[in-house]
Every structure is written in C-alpha cells, then in structure tokens.
Amino acid sequence: MYNTMEKFNKALSVNKAKKRPYLSFIDSNGYIAKDALNQLLEVTDKFMLDIKAISESIHYQICGKPNQPVLDTIRRTHQAKKLYELRYVIVPNVNDIEQELENWQVS
C-alpha cells in the first residue's frame, strides 16, 4: 500500500509521460498541498474531486480536518479548466440538512 508521498510521486511520474494516447485523471479527496497541486496541474489532464461538506464545522465533524484545503483545490482546478467531476458525498443526518445543501456553490 502506498503512502501519500508515494502516491503523489507515482502520479507525477506517470503523468509526466506526455507521449501517451490517453488522458490522465487524478481522483482525490482534494487534500493536495499547493506545491504538489501546481506540479500536478502541469501534467494532469483532469481532476475528479469530492467534498464532504461546505460548512467548516460539518466537514470537520466528518473528516476531522478543515475543508479550506479542499475548497482551494476545487477552485484552482476549476480555474485551470481541469475539474472534470465534483462529487458531494452525502452522509445521512449529518451533511444532508437543507441549509448545507443550499450553501453548495463553487465560485
């Protein structure tokens, strides 16, 4: 099983092979360090990301981490026109409340 750094290095080395007849995708929870994301944006065609909550407190309740790094990754991949898919993971009775769903927008 790979650790996070091994996964990053493998993705980076595979995606640097520009002579490829296929698109390269990264499927991630969005916790990608800024420097790592900069490198991946250069060599990756598209990103598929998921977020568990828009509200910081609900996201922390689900993941034990703040959601700002995920929101930053979503924003950066979208601006780079490389965001292929964005998934909102529903956790029943936690993040499916009406107010949370109404706050869902990416700017």
Total structural domains within the chain? 1
Which of 21-25, 26-30, 35-39, 87-91 has the lowest average pLDDT?
Answer: 21-25
Give the domain CATH number at 72. Answer: 3.80.30.10
pLDDT at 63: 92
How big, in percent rounded to 5, are the helix, strand and coil portions of the chain?
Answer: 45, 15, 40
pLDDT at 107: 47
1 within some domain: no
The domain in which residue 66 lies consists of 23-102
How many CA atoms lie within 13 Å of 67's alpha carbon, on the beta-carbon side? 18
| Whether pLDDT at 105 is above 90 | no
